[in-house]
Amino acid sequence: MDDKLASRLAAVAGSALQRLNPVGGGCIADASVAEFADGQRLFVKTAAGDHDMFVTEANSLRELAGPGVIRVPGVVHAERAMLVLELIDTGAPAGDFMAVFGRQLARLHRCSSGSYGFFEDNYIGATPQVNTPVRPLSDGWPAFYFEYRLLYQLRLVETNGHATSELIDLFNVLESRIDGLLAGSEEPPALLHGDLWSGNYMVAADGAPCLIDPAVYYGHREADLGMTKLFGGFGDGFYEAYEAEFSPAAGAAEREGLYKLYHLLNHLNLFGPSYYGQCITVLRHYCG
């Protein structure tokens, strides 16, 4: 056990650290359960290097916790080298788990802001996510989404050597069409988890949903819903309950691929060319 980490954790908890038990599942940070002499058990993330990822994750968790509509781990302590959270013990999902989850997410999406983005930039996985743009709200959601989500990822694709002339040509067409493709979905900016796939929620000991690993910003709620369907979806009960609580705007199903595209491009940047074909397929659908 690293003596410096043990000392920092003891100071945070106000009790001597007895054990630090590694847990699996993370690909960006090292995760552990810390056990203290006074009986406390806390969840700890650490990572090499000097960055603000843990500080921004803590702020995302606090933002999601604010409305009190869906559970997230409480933030105990955040610094550049370490994030300490409430330990959420896991359990079996209640029979209506997905319906409860869908309703709670819909209620979260009713929480709004006066502008798109967030008060700070953060991360989607290990990729920086720009939330503090210079464009005003009056420029609208299509401009925000294209420039600070899709185009930002394209520039990273170019930097990482995965771009082709076909990809760039399709993006040029998409830029000319984005206003029309997203027309009809005008709504106030909604509070988004930002990276809502099946690996970023858990079942708490009482059977209730709990959100983890957010990439929070205020944007169109269809962006969250699109991500939920990228790797197979959350089940009919989830979407039926969501729609009963907060019905999506007409045309949402057709816009879904545009919101998957952001995450496919991010996966292309993070994991390489195996995601290139999926990006092209989506772009051809909207730009062919």
Active site residues: 195
Enumerate residues 6+ apart whose C-beta is below 8 A from 133: 116, 117, 144, 147, 148
CA distance 243 to 233: 15
CA distance 178 to 261: 13
Helix (H) or strand (E) holding 42: strand 41-46
123-126 contacts, C-beta under 8 A, 24 or more apart: 123/53, 123/56, 123/57, 123/215, 124/194, 124/195, 124/215, 124/263, 124/266, 125/28, 125/195, 125/215, 125/266, 125/270, 126/28, 126/53, 126/270
- Two tokens, residue 251: 């045309």
The SS3 call for residue 93 is: coil
Cα–chain center distance at 54: 14
Q: What is the dihedral of CA 179, 185, 186, 190, to 10 degrees?
A: -120
Residue 30: CB atoms within 10 A of its CB come to 13
Sign (positive/negative) of CA torsion 189, 191, 193, 196?
Answer: negative
Question: Is the Cβ–Cβ distance between 61 and 72 less than 8 Å?
Answer: yes
- Two tokens, residue 229: 């369907």
